[in-house]
Structure 1
């Protein structure tokens, strides 16, 4: 499946180093399916959104993704794409940017003709082929309809999708310069949150490495500063990782206040099973998938 990482350090900008892929000649890379893209996003000090990303067609085509990316922001999102829809190209590579917001998604949404019709010919332009970018366009439209309330816009878009489109998963991250939102829906794929105090449980800097994907993140600044982290899987041994509930919308505010609520309390009208997915989509959802715990 695609792998998501997001982090907020609240009011304080921190430096972090990201490695999105292993070197192509590493032992682990030799055993893993090659992803179709990798990317990273955050914000400059003046609030300007930035994204760096690369489409990947083979393991030799990963110079950007395997090099350390030294970046500074107060909110971050990273994504490694195992494509369920669309080819390997930059327009299909996460994260996506609209209206000063950065978005990444993990899952499968079908019925894209119906979604395109809902967005309309006069809607926001969609450059690529993915379900993810189209869903982000729907989220953006609903935020505008909710007078800029990001949480309400996400909830409205997710409810429309759950009622009208075949879904496997719409786990998603959206960040602004100071805020972070995460939605897990339904319970098909995991999404975890960690509220990390300065130094974490071992009083050391942040050094997260995924055993299932190839993302690694390090921040020396978080030896002395708190953060909230959201990830597709638990990336260290801290027992305080919490599996988000199905339908849970999490918000991390600029002061690191965390609130959450259930915005979808039932399954999608058309919940797709793995057996119902197209072959490309099914492969994308069974690549490097951690087992979910029996309980949160």
Structure 2
């Protein structure tokens, strides 16, 4: 085991086990994508395990690191991390069983009672993971960390990640065609879907599978959940850059920039959700989407400039991130 793996196990053993399992799934998925030409819902069979393994392999160590910063409520934090590992581990086991071993759709599948049961277990695991993440958000509110800019990034990143998980619920509403079957007293084989305005299985981006002909809520879900990595990385990058750019030595400046990044990131989540809900592909934005994106970029750029404006020094202000 590498030193990185040992450190992760010391931080939180259940999350370390989850991350290790995801690395195994990831390696198997790479070989599967190269050697197995089977498809499921017009996508490579191994694409979903690959994407989920990458996402969870990034998420688990990040959550373990966040929990290592928890001093007040450390035991509660450990249990929240364990709950996340169990919930997400259960979902990944169901994914491997249903997709790889049964060659059947995992999400939205109502074709047989077994499919419905697996779907319910999947939803339970996802809810446990979401609740655990939301609880970590609350725990972080009561922690005193060495750098206030990083504190803001951790809190907002985890909060946006919890919101990104919650946005997945929008994908479980019946499409108009599915609703007509339900209204007629029937039971469609699929209820819900990733694609807005069309049925799943249409043309999509290579490997990612995001629709190139309709709206796709997976994009918003993906962007949202990885705020937990993006915003803290921005805060740490600002600390590293402060050695070259003196203006960033001010903790207040870095905190303003983190707030600006948070606003921009939340704007991207809202923009991709708005675009998807209008049935519009990420690769075919219309005038209004492009205008909103341009407006968001302009506001974030202006806020960034204002964040680094000259200001009087604050006595006793901390200029470096200690302990990280």
TM-score (norm. length: structure 2): 0.28
Higher helix share: 2
Structure showing greater Rg: 2
Higher strand share: 1
Higher relative contact order (CA 8 A, sep 6+): 1
TM-score (norm. length: structure 1): 0.30
